């Protein structure tokens, strides 16, 4: 859809100073169909995942599993609400082509959508880092975790993530950055610019997102290495490891999806404001669509990559192979230790016998 904006006047609100509606449209229905299908697919996927998570949470008896499911539930709810709020606005615009200036003369609606884009964009990245931290503590420091109120602590961390993202989304309303109408006129976002407070907020958004991805990568890598060592170590029989392996597989997939979907957008924002070059709208829209896929793909990680599903697809898959391999490995080590101790004891006895024989041989000479 090709659009052109009217030049702003002196009394134009700040959110319309860059792109001022009404816009002139070239008739097309592709955008309306794409936005509708995209939103319906994402909302349906998250609803299915939420139902599956509720059933799994009711059946689980593990505190670590419950904490992980609470985080996953928060991620699914966040993605669902993000698609519902932003998708309904975008689809309504493509269907009706309403005039933003008439509907929202004081930029309240535009600011709301801009805050929604920032909030629902940062939440999956922050939640990914929080889940990586929870799994890192649960795997590397299992005895330091609280056993009395694990669910309350997890809920507190989830609320803290939402609060942090909400505070960042409110910064443009306080003067740090600003929300503006974005081309083709269907959405609002913060102004990606290398000037003033817009530079500060753009770097804050991009650097925070990239930091969350980097933290998730480091913590997940350490957790996977530690889990492999624990599965092959002497304390393998303390608790079952199949659930932890399943959680780590899901967490790594969530991290990979977030990295693929969000890194181009975050790097593009940082590169644009640091270089001082004008914003390339075509690349902004391209990377935005990449980032939007994160909300659709996240729920399918838990829908598909579960033991129950994988065992139906691959009936020969044995999730207990970690424990079996560890048992064989431990038995082999025990056998080697017994043989080593027997060999050492034999050598010790042989040396004692040789010493006694030497004493017997020396006795006649001393008499």
The DSSP output letter for 276 is T
C-beta atoms surrounding 320 within 10 Å: 12
SS3 214: helix
Nearest to 291, CA basis, from 82, 88, 37 = 82
Rounded CA separation 263/291 (Å): 8
pLDDT at 25: 58
pLDDT at 67: 82
pTM of the model: 0.78
- Model confidence pLDDT, tens digit, residues 231-257: 665 554 444 566 777 788 888 999 999
C-beta atoms surrounding 140 within 10 Å: 15
Nearest to 123, CA basis, from 83, 80, 156, 75 = 75
pLDDT at 134: 86
Rounded CA separation 67/152 (Å): 9
- Model confidence pLDDT, tens digit, residues 30-66: 467 788 888 899 999 999 988 888 888 877 766 667 8
Average pLDDT over residues 309-320: 59
Burial of 60 by CB count in 10 Å (0-12 exposed, 13-18 middle, 19+ buried)? middle
Rounded CA separation 298/305 (Å): 11
Check if the beta carbon of residue 20 is closer than 8 Å to that of residue 6.
Answer: yes
pLDDT at 331: 47
Domains and CATH numbers, the chain: 27-140+152-316 (1.20.1070.10)
How distant is the alpha carbon of residue 350 from its chain centre? 62
Q: Which residue has better confidence, 340 or 189?
A: 189
Average pLDDT over residues 200-214: 95
Rounded CA separation 86/262 (Å): 17
Rounded CA separation 339/241 (Å): 30
pLDDT at 104: 82
Check if the beta carbon of residue 77 is closer than 8 Å to that of residue 50.
Answer: yes
181 forms bridges with which residues in the sheet? 188
C-beta atoms surrounding 336 within 10 Å: 10
End-to-end CA distance of the chain: 117
Check if the beta carbon of residue 157 is closer than 8 Å to that of residue 237.
Answer: no
**Look-up: residue for tokens 């509907």?**
103
The first and second tokens of residue 90, run together, are 């975008």
3 forms bridges with which residues in the sheet? 25
- Model confidence pLDDT, tens digit, residues 251-309: 899 999 999 999 999 999 999 999 888 888 889 988 998 898 998 998 888 888 776 66
Rounded CA separation 94/72 (Å): 32
C-beta atoms surrounding 4 within 10 Å: 13
The angle formed by the CA atoms of residues 358, 364 and 365, to the nearest 5 degrees, is 90
Check if the beta carbon of residue 279 is closer than 8 Å to that of residue 272.
Answer: yes
């Amino acid at each position: 859809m090709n659009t052109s904006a009217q030049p702003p006047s002196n009394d134009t609100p700040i959110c319309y100073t860059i792109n001022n509606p009404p816009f002139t449209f070239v008739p097309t229905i592709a955008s309306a169909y794409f936005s509708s299908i995209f939103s319906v697919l994402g909302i349906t996927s998250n609803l299915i995942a939420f139902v599956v998570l509720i059933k799994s949470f009711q059946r689980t008896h593990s505190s670590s599993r419950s904490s992980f499911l609470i985080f996953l539930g928060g991620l699914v709810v966040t993605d669902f609400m993000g698609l519902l709020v932003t998708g309904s606005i975008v689809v309504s615009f493509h269907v009706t082509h309403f005039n933003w200036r008439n509907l929202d003369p004081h930029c309240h609606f535009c600011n709301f959508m801009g805050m929604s884009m920032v909030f629902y964009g940062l939440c999956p990245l922050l939640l990914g880092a929080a889940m990586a931290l929870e799994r890192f503590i649960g795997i590397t420091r299992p005895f330091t975790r609280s056993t009395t109120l694990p669910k309350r602590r997890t809920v507190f961390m989830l609320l803290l993530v939402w609060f942090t993202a909400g505070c960042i989304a409110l910064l443009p309303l306080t003067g740090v950055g600003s929300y503006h109408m974005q081309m083709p006129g269907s959405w609002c976002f913060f102004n990606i610019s290398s000037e003033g407070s817009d530079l500060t907020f753009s770097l804050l958004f991009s650097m925070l997102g990239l930091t969350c991805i980097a933290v998730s990568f480091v913590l997940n890598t350490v957790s996977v290495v530690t889990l492999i060592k624990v599965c092959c170590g002497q304390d393998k029989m303390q608790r079952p490891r199949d659930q932890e392996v399943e959680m780590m597989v899901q967490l790594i997939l969530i991290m990979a999806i977030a990295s693929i979907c969000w890194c181009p957008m975050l790097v593009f924002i940082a590169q644009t404001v640091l270089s001082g070059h004008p914003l390339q709208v075509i690349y902004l829209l391209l990377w935005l669509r990449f980032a939007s896929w994160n909300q659709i793909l996240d729920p399918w990680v838990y829908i598909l990559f579960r033991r129950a599903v994988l065992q139906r697809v691959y009936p020969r898959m044995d999730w207990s192979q970690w424990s079996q391999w560890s048992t064989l490995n431990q038995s082999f080590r025990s056998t080697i230790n017994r043989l080593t101790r027997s060999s050492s004891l034999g050598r010790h006895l042989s040396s004692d016998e040789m010493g006694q024989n030497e004493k017997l041989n020396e006795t006649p000479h001393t008499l």
